[in-house]
Amino acid sequence: MTWSIYGTELTNRLLIGSALYPSPEIMSKAVQASGSQVITLSLKRQNPSEQSGAQIWQHIQKMGLTLLPNTAGCKSADEVFTLAQMSREIFDTNWIKLEVIGDDYNLQPDPIELLKSAEQLIAEGFKVLPYCTDDLVICQRLYDLGCEVIMPWASPIGTGKGLMNPYNLETIRMRLPDATLILDAGIGKPSDACIAMEMGYDGVLLNSAIALADDPILMARAFANAIEAGSQGYLAGIMPQRQTAHASTPTLGTPFWHEQV
């Protein structure tokens, strides 16, 4: 079943990062195995002695995927605005994964700068995909500003701790039924992604959990399957939990020795 991000139709619900892989070749194969159609990437200062960035970029260009540049490393709306404009020129896209960090310890997004940034970028024609915490009000405000896509974290970037606060994430889904919700950051294992999809999230964005696996290509496939399973489970309609046991085998016609006399 298709879905869309800012009008771009997609069939796969995994957005994948391009960092931390053992090599550009493994990155390419893992991305291919994941079936992902959207890949994140970034910008940094040109260092002539370091060719790895150029190699990765060459591999990404060959894959023909939709690019989602991020604003990693930014700590203010002003920095974001400059970097976003540079990204738009290089990558030729209005899409921007808005990251603006407020704390160096847990890399938590700064909610004040995030809102300021989102407003500024939207006014300049960007299609903003903000990375934020699982705070309902921040998500709501970002949506009200015009972010069609909201990307709350599962847990801090790169921790692999999974869904720290399922209640918050479920509440965001329930309160923002029309927003495109993508769970971003902190996912550690395929079941984390599956749970997010079972909650009704539209997609999952992850990087470390695949790139840092012993076998990134196999893990990419595992995530693709988990996301597909969770998505189908949600669409199929998950049965409500019940407080008491209910026999699944029909009780009519049970053996005579169970009959009451």
Q: Which of 28, 36, 40, 231 binds another protein (CB under 8 A)?
A: 40
User: Which residue of the set 97, 116, 127, 161 is catalytic?
Assistant: 97
- The phi and psi torsions of 253 (rounded to 5 degrees) equal 80, 20
Distance CA 46, CA 73 (A): 15
Is the separation of the CB atoms in 193 and 227 below 8 Å?
A: yes
SS (H, E, C) 194-224: HHHHHCCCCEEEECHHHHCCCCHHHHHHHHH
Give me the least distance between CB of 221 and another protein, in Å please. Answer: 19
Does the protein bind another protein through residue 157 (CB under 8 A)?
yes
Q: Does residue 97 have an active-site annotation?
A: yes
Does the protein bind another protein through residue 82 (CB under 8 A)?
yes
Q: Fill in the amino acid letter for 67.
A: L
Does the protein bind another protein through residue 85 (CB under 8 A)?
yes
Ramachandran class of 73: left when φ > 0, alpha when ψ lies in -120 to 50, beta otherwise:
left
Give me the least distance between CB of 35 and another protein, in Å please. Answer: 18
Q: Which stretch binds another protein (CB under 8 A): 18-26, 29-37, 133-141, 227-235?
A: 18-26
| Positions in the binding site for another protein (CB under 8 A) | 17-21, 27, 40-48, 52-54, 56-57, 60, 69-70, 72, 78-79, 81-83, 85-87, 89-91, 157-158, 206-208
Task: Show which residues are catalytic.
Answer: 97
